[in-house]
Structure 1
Amino acid sequence: MNAELLEIHPRELKFIFELKKQSTCSVRLFNKSNNHVAFKVKTTSPKKYSVRPNIGIIKPKSTCEFTVMMQAQRVAPPDMICKDKFLVQSTVVPAGTSDDDITPSIFAKDDVRYVEENKLKVVLVSPPNSPVLSPINRTLKQVPAYEPSILKDQVLRKVESLTQRHTVTEDVESKVENSEEANSAKNLEYKTRKDADEPLMNVGYKARKEVDEPTTDVEHKTRMDVDEPTTDVEHKTMNDMEELKLVKDVSEMKSKLNELESKLSEAEVIISKLTEERRLNAQERESLRQELTLLMSKRVVRKVHAGFPFLFVCMVALVSVMLGYLLNR
């Protein structure tokens, strides 16, 4: 059985979840073996997360960290449960292997190569000191927690005032009925009942009006107070997001410009080397041409000096014939 290659901490990726805000998490890898180990990070949602670096080489008994950034989300998942997962693959590679040498075939499983796989879960954590959140249209809206208590206290106060006024009218009726004189009692009873009924109706109407008006005023004020901070918070968050995006875009542009400048400098160095090599090749070609011309001239001179001319041979032959003729005579 193969020994464990990497020790991973943490085993769960915890992200502080806030709407329309990015969140990051770092993972540390420790190479427990005595060999060089290559690793690769995969995820089930590549568009949602960004891993830097997603591949690398870890030396023996050394550590390496990679950062996972979760993109800003507009909708919260149900019950703050995330089913996304990450897979960390690792395998032994020869010493001297670089990041550019890492290919998908290295992590292919076969009978010869051992590939270790570790699965990491994603856990969403609510931010500390978060306000009371209420789901509205599948989004979270900030609502002050003291709103229902204010309404409840005001309604209870109005009900107590109504009950006190009603007990006073009942005491007046009982005193009038227990009076000694029947005739005067009847008149007083009629008057008091009439007088008592009218205040009761007025009290009931006023109480209802007073109860309805404060509650509606309180509801209107609380709604205004809730809507104004939420709009201000949303406006601020939008401005902050835009500023963050601008800063991020500027930093990306700067990094791209630096990369282009480095590439241009490298290209200039390569061009200068090529021009120098071309000049040297031209000089070598010219020297070879001169040597070739010298060799050709020397060969022609040798051809001229080697052997006898044809006229000289004819003269010698003629002289020899004449000498032979004279000698034979």
Structure 2
Amino acid sequence: MTPDLIQILPSQLTFLFESKKQSSCLIQLRNKDDQYLAFKIKTTSPKKYCVRPNIGIIKPKDACDFTVTMQAQKTAPPDLNCKDKFLIQCTIVPFGTTEDDITSDMFAKDSGKYIEEKKLRVVLIAPPSSPVLFQVNEDANQDSSKEIHAQKDWVPTLRVSEEVKDFKTTPDMEEDRTDEVIVDRRVENVRGMEPSKDAVQLSLAKDFEELKSRLGIMDSKLSEAKVNIMKLTEERRTNTEEKDLLKKEMEVLKRKMNAKRVEDGFPLLFVCMVALVSMVAGYYIHP
């Protein structure tokens, strides 16, 4: 028997189901082995859930967290019974393996490697009831019970209609009106929140425009810097060419000066040689 490579905490995915609202669940994977592990997460409903990250590397005796987000649903399943499941696959990988090296072939069963698979089921729970709504419902139930008892004691005469007229102004009905006022105030508060949302959107739009203008300014400055760099590069190239041209002219001048020195020194040497030869010849002719 091969021991378990990973430990999953918690052992199931629990989501708080609220209509048209997202819900998230955090799961931790613990590496129980002394080697590096690669994991991959699959689900039976990929369009319904978002897993981040869905692949990863866990160091020996270390842990890794991933978050599963359930997208907003319009209606709840019957009795909150969800049949969605998740599959977690893991396998041993060499030291130095990164997330970019993870491929689907690593988790293929026909590869000969040991692939550990664990399933997680999805559990949906209902949100707790609001205490304010519960109190309103309880008051309404008490009022209805009072009306039922009153109807049993009434006698079908003309006086009953008058009592009914008087019953409309009883304290119980005033309490109901108070509840209606509370509900109306809540509706007004909810409506009052809409302008704040608009203000937030306007503020975000203003910040976006400001950032956009700053980006335009930075782009213009960058363009100016590029133009300046091009000018400096051209000036440097021109200076280099002028410097090379001056070097060539200096070499030509040096050559000309050397040639002139040779031309100026040749006649003097020739005269000296002729004089020496003449003296030797005169010595031999006239001893």
TM-score bin (small chain):
0.5 to 0.7
Q: Distance in 2 between matches of 1:124 and 1:74?
A: 14
Alpha-carbon spacing, 1:210–1:155, altered in 2? closer, same or farther (3 Å): farther
Distance apart, 1:113 and its partner CA: 1.1
Provide the secondary structure at the position in 2 that maps to 1:15.
strand
Q: Distance in 1 between matches of 2:99 and 2:123?
A: 30
Assess if the C-alpha contact under 8 Å between 1:144 and 1:226 holds in 2: no
Assess if the C-alpha contact under 8 Å between 2:19 and 2:75 holds in 1: yes
Distance apart, 1:50 and its partner CA: 1.2
Provide the secondary structure at the position in 2 that maps to 1:4.
coil
Q: Any runs of at least 4 consecutive aligned residues in structure 1 with deviations exceeding 6 A, and if so which?
A: 211-214, 236-248
Q: Distance in 2 between matches of 1:155 and 1:52?
A: 57
Q: Distance in 1 between matches of 2:201 and 2:81?
A: 28
Query: Are 2:41 and 1:41 equivalent residues in the alignment?
Result: yes
Alpha-carbon spacing, 1:243–1:101, altered in 2? closer, same or farther (3 Å): farther
Using structure 2 for the length normalisation, give the TM-score. 0.57
Distance apart, 1:129 and its partner CA: 4.8
Distance apart, 1:21 and its partner CA: 2.4
Q: Which residue of 2 aligns with 1:147?
A: 140
Identity of aligned residues (%): 44
Alpha-carbon spacing, 1:151–1:23, altered in 2? closer, same or farther (3 Å): same
Q: Which residue of 2 aligns with 1:13?
A: 13
Alpha-carbon spacing, 1:159–1:231, altered in 2? closer, same or farther (3 Å): same
Q: Which residue of 2 aligns with 1:279?
A: none
What code does the residue aligned with 1:39 have? F
- Structure showing greater Rg: 1
Instruction: Give deviations 1:233-276, integer Å, cap 9, x for gaps.
Output: 8758989999999999x9xxxxxx9xxxxxxxxxxxxxxxxxxx
Alpha-carbon spacing, 1:105–1:245, altered in 2? closer, same or farther (3 Å): farther
Which of 73-82 and 2-11 deviates more?
A: 73-82
Assess if the C-alpha contact under 8 Å between 2:43 and 2:87 holds in 1: yes
What code does the residue aligned with 2:13 have? L
Distance apart, 1:150 and its partner CA: 1.2
Provide the secondary structure at the position in 1 that maps to 2:30.
strand
Q: Which residue of 2 aligns with 1:50?
A: 50
Instruction: Give deviations 1:190-243, integer Å, cap 9, x for gaps.
Output: xxxxxxxxxx732244346666898xx78x959956974785687589899999
- Consecutive unaligned residues of structure 1, counting only runs of 5 or more, are 135-141, 163-199, 251-256, 258-329
Alpha-carbon spacing, 1:150–1:201, altered in 2? closer, same or farther (3 Å): closer
Distance apart, 1:130 and its partner CA: 3.5
Alpha-carbon spacing, 1:83–1:234, altered in 2? closer, same or farther (3 Å): farther
Q: Distance in 2 between matches of 1:81 and 1:32?
A: 33
Q: Distance in 1 between matches of 2:70 and 2:114?
A: 31
Q: Which residue of 1 aligns with 2:227?
A: none
Q: Distance in 2 between matches of 1:123 and 1:51?
A: 16
Q: Which residue of 2 aligns with 1:24?
A: 24
What code does the residue aligned with 1:21 have? K
| Corresponding pairs, count | 208
Distance apart, 1:5 and its partner CA: 0.9
Distance apart, 1:133 and its partner CA: 8.6
Assess if the C-alpha contact under 8 Å between 1:147 and 1:222 holds in 2: no
What code does the residue aligned with 1:201 have? T
Assess if the C-alpha contact under 8 Å between 2:31 and 2:63 holds in 1: yes
Higher relative contact order (CA 8 A, sep 6+): 2
Q: Distance in 2 between matches of 1:107 and 1:92?
A: 10
Alpha-carbon spacing, 1:212–1:239, altered in 2? closer, same or farther (3 Å): same
Query: Are 2:157 and 1:201 equivalent residues in the alignment?
Result: yes
Assess if the C-alpha contact under 8 Å between 1:50 and 1:69 holds in 2: yes
In the TM superposition, 1:150-189 aligns within 5 A as: 150-157=143-150, 159-160=152-153, 162=155
Using structure 1 for the length normalisation, give the TM-score. 0.51
